Amino acid sequence: MSKISVTLNKLDLCRWMIPKTGGMRVPGIIYTSEEMLREMGDDQSPQQVMNVAYLPGIVKYSLAMPDMHWGYGFPIGGVAAFDLKNGVISPGGVGYDINCGCRMMTTKLNFEDIRDHVRELVVALFQNIPTGVGSTGVLKLAQKEERQVLTQGSRWAVSQGYGTDEDVETTEDYGVMTGADPDKVSPRAMERGRDQLGTLGSGNHFLEIEVVEEIFDPDVAAVFGLSVGQVAVLIHSGSRGLGYQICDDYLARMVKKMGELGFDLPDRQLACSWLESTAGKDYLAAMACAANYAWANRQMLMHWTRETFEKTLQKAPRELGMKLLYDVCHNIAKLETFPVDGEMMKLCVHRKGATRSFPPGHPALPERYRKVGQPVLIPGDMGTGSYVMVGTEKAYQETFGSTCHGAGRVMSRAQATRASAGRSVAKEMADRGVIVMASGKGTLKEEIPEAYKRLDDVVDVVHRAGISRKVARLRAVGCIKG
């Protein structure tokens, strides 16, 4: 990739502009703070923001959220929207783990109800939910069943007894992306997805027991069903090997055809196809399959979490009251309509490591949240907990309805492993009041808290910028990881 010098002009306390230069078609805008910029060191994600601005059909800006860090082609934390007629689709702008996302469940329990059972719950969850690299679930899908998962998403899982219609109502896009075509998914990707449905995966994926610690907006919190001291569960997982393989397949296909596109790019990792081309349409159809697989996956993980809580605590479903607050995806490209220069335009919005943040009144939201806005789930590292935020009109106007998705790494996995050498990470977490179990010590070493930015800092930027607002902060008490 060519080296480009990055100029950053401060717009206000939360935004920095990269002016158009070279082959950039639009400026770049980075949401961050002065302190976080200083702490970035040699991370080259601002350069990647510039590189994305070279892509044809990009509209308004190339954006990055405060949790941004180096990614494949696009920065993680990157957002870009493209005109449907003259724009492109880039798998690097979605990511390898298509529809990696989070879902949060609220309960009727308070922390006092589980204080003496946290370790027992963590052990039971670890035993009942498959985790780790290449982990397989209790299901091995027949070919017909897998095709149904890829087209029906969450509704397939619910139809098989893994949850309720109410769960579907509070899932982004109601748990299914239209336009999915299993015929556009390779046999290798289908094979990888056949026995991984209902598995957590590895790396930064987790299932976490949390407690609501602070409420910032009581009115919105009441609509979301959140109160101080309440127990909640957050699940972070994606489309597993199937999504990874789909990304890999289409990147290889697009890299081969880069010379035929008629324009130059500063980074071959930005390999792309015209949205109206056969390759572009095929990728969108395959990507939708992976998105639907991920929603079905999280739906099943939630169902087994409910069962584990019921059995471990010996409580009936009504006593437990575990409800889905919301499910949001982080790695996706969607056809959505936004205001551009005073006119409404249908665009292809890439969100890579970024969360949708739709405002009050938006028709895509479930009726129960339409008056207040979309729930936005922002997880931190395994010792931090998470935030619940709410979408805003400002995000709709300025960031294509997008905000941050988490804390964002500041150390590579190799750096984190070196930094944690000789330490007992599980004991460190226990000393902080968090019971952690993982399928291998290596995962905990890679995921040490200092490998990530400070979640409070990231959330403060998007809150001050007005592209999502704080509703509640939760602390972690138990966590399982791959």
Contact 480, 122 (CB under 8 A): yes
In one-letter notation, the amino acid at residue 116 is D
Does residue 207 have a known ligand-binding role? Answer: yes
* Single pTM value for the model: 0.95
The contacts found for 7-11 with CB under 8 angstroms, 24 or more apart, are: 8/37, 8/46, 10/34
Please check if 468 is assigned to a binding site. no
What contacts 150, CB < 8 A, 6 or more positions away? Answer: 180, 182, 185, 193, 289, 290, 292, 293
Token code pair at residue 90:
């880039």
User: What's 9-481's CATH class?
Assistant: alpha beta
What letter represents residue 248's amino acid? D
Integer CA distances (angstroms), 129 to 74, 122, 201, in order: 32, 10, 10
Tokens of 433: 């009041």
User: What is the b/e burial string over 172-191, where b = at least 16 CB atoms within 10 angstroms of the residue's CB?
Assistant: bbbbbbeebbbebbbeebbe
7-65 pLDDT, tens digit per residue, is 999 999 999 999 999 999 999 999 999 999 988 888 999 999 999 999 999 999 999 99
Q: pLDDT digit string (tens) for 346-389?
A: 999 999 999 999 999 999 999 999 999 999 999 987 778 899 99
Instruction: Check residue 11 and give its pLDDT.
Output: 97
Catalytic residue positions?
405
134 is in an annotated binding site: no
Question: 99 labelled as ligand-binding?
Answer: no
**Domain spans in the chain, listed from the N-terminal domain onward:** 9-481
Residue 419 pLDDT grade (very low, low, confident, very high; cuts 50, 70, 90): confident
DSSP-assigned states of every residue in 139-169: ----HHHHHHHHHHTHHHHHHTTSS-HHHHH
